[in-house]
Amino acid sequence: MHAPIGHNSQLRLKAYQIRRTALKMGQVQGQGYIAQALDVADILAVAYFHAMTFRAGEPDWEGRDRFYLSIGHYAIALYAALIEAGIVPREELETYGGDDSCLPMSGMATYTPGMEITGGSLGQGLPIAIGACLALKRKRSSSFIYNLLSDGELGEGSTWEAAMSAAHWKLDNLIAIVDVNDQQADGPSSSVLSAEPLHEKWRAFGWFTQRVDGNDIDALVTAFDAARAHAAPQPRVIICDTLMGKGVPFLEAREKNHFIRVDDGEWDKAIDMLDAEFAR
Amino acid sequence: MSLKRSFARVTGDAAPRLKTSAMIASIAGDDQKTQAAPFGHALVELAKTRADIVGLTADLAKYTDLHIFAEAYPDRFYQMGMAEQLLMAASAGMAREGFTPFATTYAVFASRRAYDFICMAIAEENLPVKIVCALPGLTTGYGPSHQATDDLSIFRAMPNLTVIDPCDALDIEQAVPAIAAHPGPVYMRLLRGKVPLVLDEYDYRFELGKAALLRDGRDVLFISSGLMTMRVLEASKVLSKDSIDCAVLHVPTIKPLDTAAIIREASKPGRLVVVAENHSIIGGLGEAVAGVLMRAGVHPAFRQIALPDQFLDAGALPTLHDRYGISTGAICGQIKGWL
Ligand SMILES: Cc1ncc(C[n+]2csc(CCOP(=O)(O)OP(=O)(O)O)c2C)c(N)n1
Ligand SMILES: [Mg+2]
């Protein structure tokens, strides 16, 4: 629809397509964690279409970078990215969340090509990544493990056990991405359990730490590049501040909630507004 | 890695989709009487007279009806963040200092993630922490991460712990003061949101440690707990049209079991004994009852209606209840096959 201007414009287009595909899936079920999908779309666009190495037709290719989604409820967002990446056929979105679909509401490794781990029981992604990073090193692999975790997951002790372990083992093949949307089940993360100052915490745990606007493609590209290129033997984390509902103004403005209700008639309106925003 | 499911074939005229595969799916039928948040309201009521009661949660107040208590008693409510191990250990600390904590999360996260903390910090010292957990058994279509198909098995094996599986809103409402009055630790399964109300039609009161015969019958004795009591009551009505006469013994206290009532009812001759539970066939009420009967030398014809020993599918809850045999229709089918 837009003439490609530059690489980052391509990524903005991808982020828009991920948002649109996620909205289409939400519309199929009449529900879904759509506000999260919209907030994380820019991160996924940069991960899949800038940073990561993979083969669309061969999701288990040994040489791929692995993307670990511990937040199972964000699956709708990752499915959209996997569809845009050509790993999951586009027709599948029609089955999202339905009986016997390979796209269940919560992401599971046994259901979906490209879904590396079974998430949903939060706080398991980073610990699993520790073992996988150690294994990749044993195999002399140059692949990275990316783990997308949420600010809510920072409440789990297992996350910090893993954070300490990653630095101990000097896991320079681990890139954690924290989606700080300041939301979890009972309310704003900042009021549920104060986790700030996040930058200082991760740095004190021994990580190469960056904090960026997670809805700014240029900033994300710079941060992902720096995370991959960083020379010191330590794990890397990109803390991303994001806005729930990003890209659809009436959802951005809606009262923040872990599970945002979108009424039947609103899905088309959301897609229209997304299109209009992107065209601007 | 060839475990992945094959892509579903998308057909043009697919059946209308059931929109209930989300985390929170109501188990109430369309025409069923319901009561809102019975746990939250009962706890608020109880807290009026018991200043020792406090509420703690791990980022799931809204999803366990504890928000009702939090709104009524903000200064007695502790939001611990999404940290279930901390939730349980901190509740133990509260209890050590004389308070009676009600700690809430989902059943999977209490039974799986926080197990050791409940076992050693709470149960070993017999501290009065009341662990109240939503999404017991198969009450969400969200997949194994949220389906606590093993919680009764896990918690039955823990010494000192009392285990409760209430049927409906009335059961929950009456269980709250009863478990608070009990001096030791308790695990209670919770139905939340709009909770069906069925036991008001029977001559029934919740009594800790007691089973209750809700209806008598000559052909089948159902022994059941939790929402399965609701289901076998419905099934009994349906089966009576085929002249199958069913008794229902409701066992809301899974541990300690009311062995006297179970032995008494199962000893009556000529009835097929069927234990029905919203739980894996391994280690729940069914095997508990079987053990009681074996040890007592009572050997009726015995069957279990329970979830299979599998990680269950994700999908719409009604589909899954049919698939795994715990819907009213599936119960009736199994009974007819056995008689
Ligand atoms: C171990 C664990 N505890 C509790 C839950 C229930 N739960 C699901 S999502 C969620 C909130 C998690 O925070 P976050 O991922 O930041 O939420 P969001 O940004 O999507 O609102 C909770 C508590 C869970 N899935 N896993
Ligand atoms: Mg969050």
Q: Where does a domain end: B169, B196, B223?
A: B196
Contact between chains at A95 and B8 (C-beta distance less than 8 A): yes
Q: What is the pLDDT of residues A49-73, one digit of tens each?
A: 999 999 999 999 999 999 999 999 9
Contact between chains at B18 and A99 (C-beta distance less than 8 A): yes
Mutation to probe ligand 1, out of A31, A148, A258 (largest number of atoms < 8 A from CB): A258
Nearest CA to ligand 1 atom 13: A152
Domain-embedded: residue B316: yes
Is pLDDT of B198 > 70? yes
Average pLDDT over residues B266-289: 98
CA dihedral sign of residues A177, A178, A184, A187: negative
Picking from B81, B108, B316, the nearest residue to A192 by CB comes out as B81
Is pLDDT of B208 > 80? yes
Token output for A122: 């939060």
Picking from B7, B57, B141, the nearest residue to A102 by CB comes out as B7
Average pLDDT over residues B285-309: 98
Q: In this structure, are B115 and B256 located in the same domain?
A: no
Q: Which residues in chain A have their CB less than 8 angstroms from residue B1's CB? A: 60
Choose the mutation target among B145, B313, B321 for the interface with A, i.e. most A CBs under 10 Å.
B145
Contact between chains at B8 and A60 (C-beta distance less than 8 A): no
Q: In this structure, are B254 and B320 located in the same domain?
A: yes
Domain-embedded: residue B332: yes
Q: What is the identity of the amino acid at B243?
A: S
Annotated catalytic, B84?
Answer: yes
**CA A24/CA A83 separation, integer angstroms:** 12
Domain-embedded: residue B261: yes
Instruction: Using a CB–CB cutoff of 8 Å, tell me whether A118 touches chain B.
Output: yes
Q: In this structure, are B130 and B92 located in the same domain?
A: yes
Is pLDDT of A278 > 60? yes
Q: Residue B248: which residues within 8 A CB-CB, separation 6 or more?
A: B213, B214, B215, B217, B222, B224, B229, B232, B233, B236
Is pLDDT of B22 > 70? no
Contact between chains at A31 and B22 (C-beta distance less than 8 A): yes
Domain-embedded: residue B62: yes
Q: What is the pLDDT of residues A120-144, one digit of tens each?
A: 999 999 999 999 999 999 999 999 9
CATH number of the domain within which B250 lies:
3.40.50.920
Quote the pLDDT of residue B1.
Answer: 39
- Cβ-Cβ pairs closer than 8 A, A with B, add up to 132
Q: In this structure, are B112 and B138 located in the same domain?
A: yes
The Å distance, Cα A152 to ligand 1 centre, comes to 6
Q: What is the pLDDT of residues B121-141, one digit of tens each?
A: 999 999 999 999 999 999 999
Q: In this structure, are B147 and B56 located in the same domain?
A: yes
Q: What are phi and psi of B74, to 5 degrees?
A: -55, -30
Quote the pLDDT of residue A5.
Answer: 65
Lowest mean pLDDT among B17-26, B140-149, B270-279: B17-26
Quote the pLDDT of residue A58.
Answer: 97
| Cβ–Cβ < 8 Å for A115, A67 | no
Domains in chain B, number: 2
Is pLDDT of A173 > 80? yes
Is pLDDT of B46 > 80? yes
Q: Where does a domain end: B196, B229, B244?
A: B196
Measured torsion, CA atoms of residues B7, A89, A32, A107, in degrees rounded to the nearest 10:
60
Average pLDDT, chain B: 95
CATH number of the domain within which B132 lies:
3.40.50.970
Residue-wise DSSP of chain A = -----SHHHHHHHHHHHHHHHHHHHHHHHT---HHHHHHHHHHHHHIIIII----TT-TT-TTSPEEEE--GGGHHHHHHHHHHTTSS-GGGGGGTTSTT-SS-SS--TTTSTT--S--SSTT-HHHHHHHHHHHHHHTT----EEEEEETGGGGSHHHHHHHHHHHHTT-TTEEEEEEE-S-BTTB-HHHHS----HHHHHHHTT-EEEEEETT-HHHHHHHHHHHHH--SSS-EEEEEE--TTTT-HHHHHSPP-SS----TTHHHHHHHHHHHHHH-
Show the domain range for B322.
209-338
Quote the pLDDT of residue B125.
Answer: 98
Quote the pLDDT of residue B27.
Answer: 86
Is pLDDT of B20 > 80? no
- Left if phi > 0, otherwise alpha if psi is -120 to 50, otherwise beta: which for A100? left
Q: What is the pLDDT of residues B141-195, one digit of tens each?
A: 999 999 999 999 999 999 999 999 999 999 999 999 999 999 999 999 999 999 9
Quote the pLDDT of residue B75.
Answer: 98
Q: In this structure, are B190 and B214 located in the same domain?
A: no
Q: What is the pLDDT of residues B64-103, one digit of tens each?
A: 999 999 999 999 999 999 999 999 999 999 999 999 999 9
CB atoms within 10 A of CB B129: 30
Quote the pLDDT of residue B2.
Answer: 41
Q: In this structure, are B118 and B217 located in the same domain?
A: no
Tell me B216's DSSP state. Answer: -
Q: In this structure, are B83 and B140 located in the same domain?
A: yes
Q: Where does a domain end: B127, B161, B196?
A: B196
Q: In this structure, are B171 and B256 located in the same domain?
A: no
Q: In this structure, are B51 and B147 located in the same domain?
A: yes
Q: Which residues in chain B have their CB less than 8 angstroms from residue A113's CB? A: 4
Q: In this structure, are B219 and B284 located in the same domain?
A: yes
Quote the pLDDT of residue B18.
Answer: 54
Contact between chains at B109 and A100 (C-beta distance less than 8 A): no
Q: In this structure, are B133 and B176 located in the same domain?
A: yes
Mutation to probe ligand 1, out of B63, B64, B82, B108 (largest number of atoms < 8 A from CB): B82
Instruction: Using a CB–CB cutoff of 8 Å, tell me whether A226 touches chain B.
Output: no
Of residues A37 and B24, more confidence is placed in A37
Domain-embedded: residue B1: no
Picking from A30, A99, A102, the nearest residue to B5 by CB comes out as A102
pLDDT above 90 as % of chain B: 91
Domains and CATH numbers, chain A: 8-279 (3.40.50.970)
Quote the pLDDT of residue B17.
Answer: 52
Domain-embedded: residue B4: no
Q: How far is CA B30 from CA A128, B21, B230, B233, B324, in A?
A: 42, 17, 14, 17, 21
Domain-embedded: residue B11: no
Mutation to probe ligand 1, out of A70, A184, A256 (largest number of atoms < 8 A from CB): A184
Is pLDDT of B9 > 80? no
Domain-embedded: residue B130: yes
Sheet arrangement for strand B130-134: B77-79, B53-57, B100-106, B130-134, B186-190, B162-164, B253-255
